[in-house]
Homo-oligomer: A and B are copies of this chain.
Amino acid sequence: MASRSTDPKDPREPRGSRDPKNGRPALDDVSLAIIEQLQEDGRRPYAAIGKAVGLSEAAVRQRVQKLLDQGVMQIVAVTDPLTVGFRRQAMLGINVEGDLDPVADALTAMSEVEYVVMTAGSFDLLVEIVCEDDDHLLEVINKRIRSLPGVRSTESFVYLKLKKQTYMWGSR
């Protein structure tokens, strides 16, 4: 299991930047600082984090666990799939007629889809796809995605080379 406690539930909560009730930000400065620490090294010990953010080891541990349970962050290994396997990867721009959500949910349910985001601009959705090979990619795009009800059109961007991939928005 990715997390160590209660089942993950649905990570898509209405989690705004601030909790409307009780006014406090959903994430205070300390939690932000903890996340920054873990963005640098996901395995950094709780005691070291505590020293950096001014909290006891146990307090850090509890906060981290809550952040994981709430789905605010996940601690995982990330790779360049193109490097690791000999797979095909692509970004897909999608235009939808009618409600976006059903389409987005259907895409989210596909295991080959790693990333789904609603956007403003000439595409309604951007989705990233990781596949075994060309045949697999073709099948996912042409058979499974283009046939989804509501999908008006798609445009594909096959990945040639990943140049940068970071998660350090905190540190700058």
Contacts and interface: CB of A to CB of B under 8 A. Distances in A.
Nearest to A34: B77
Interface in A1-44: 1-4, 12, 15-18, 26-27, 32, 35, 38-43
Contacts of A158: 119-121
A122 B163 CA distance: 18
Describe A's contact surface by its main secondary structure: mixed
Copies in the complex: 2
- Size bin of chain A's contact surface: 35 or more
Interface of A: 1-4, 12, 15-18, 26-27, 32, 35, 38-43, 72-87, 90-91, 93, 104-105, 107-108, 111, 113-123, 126, 130, 155-169, 172
Contacts of A78: 39, 73-76, 78, 167
